[in-house]
Structure 1
Amino acid sequence: MTRIQANLLLLLAAAIWGGGFVAQSTAMKAIGPFWFIALRFAVATLAVLPFVLLEARKAEVKTSARHARLYVLTALALFSGAATQQVGLQTTTVTNSSFVTGL
C-alpha cells in the first residue's frame, strides 16, 4: 500500500466516523437515546450472530463461566460508553461530542 492510499483510507475512516455523529444527532430528534442504542445494538447483533455461531461450532475450547462474566462486563462498559455519548448528544454539539469521544 502506498502512502497516498494509506492517507486516503485514513481520511475515509475519519469521514465515516464523523458522519456517524451527525446521524446520531439527527436520530436524537426522532427517538430517544436508549431506543437508538437498542436499535443500533440489535442490528449489530443480527449482523454478527451468524459468524459467532459458526466460530462457536469450530471452537475446540468452549466458553467458560469466567469468560461469560468477562463478556458481560465488556458489554456493560460498551453500553455505558454508548449511553453516555447518546445522552450527551442531546445537550451538546456534534463537534464537541466527537472531540470528547476521540479524546
Structure 2
Amino acid sequence: VSNDMTEGIIARFRTMAIHRPSVLVGHVVGSVLQSVASVVLVGAVGAAIGFRSTDATALEWLAAFGLLVLFALAFTWIAVGMGLISPNAEAASNNA
C-alpha cells in the first residue's frame, strides 16, 4: 500500500472512473485470500501427516476457520492503515 501511494499509481487511478477505496479493498481481499489459502494448506498437511480431532464437530471446525479469517482480515486492515500513514515502504516495514 505504501509503495502504491508513493509511486504514483494511486494518482493515476484518481483520473479514472473507479471507486476510491477499491484499491485498498483489493489489497485486503488479496491478502485475506492468501491467508485463507495458507490456512487450508497447513490444515491439509496436518491431516495428511495424521492429525485427527476426536472431540470437535464440523461446525466447531468451521467456527475456528471463520475466526482465523477474521483475524487475517483485522491484521490486514491494521497493516493497510500503517502503510497509509507511512511516508515510504521502508518506514512502513519498520512500524511493525
Q: TM-score, normalised by structure 1?
A: 0.47
Q: TM-score, normalised by structure 2?
A: 0.49
Which of structures 1 and 2 has the larger relative contact order (alpha carbons within 8 angstroms, sep 6+)? 2
Structure with the higher helix share, 1 or 2: 1
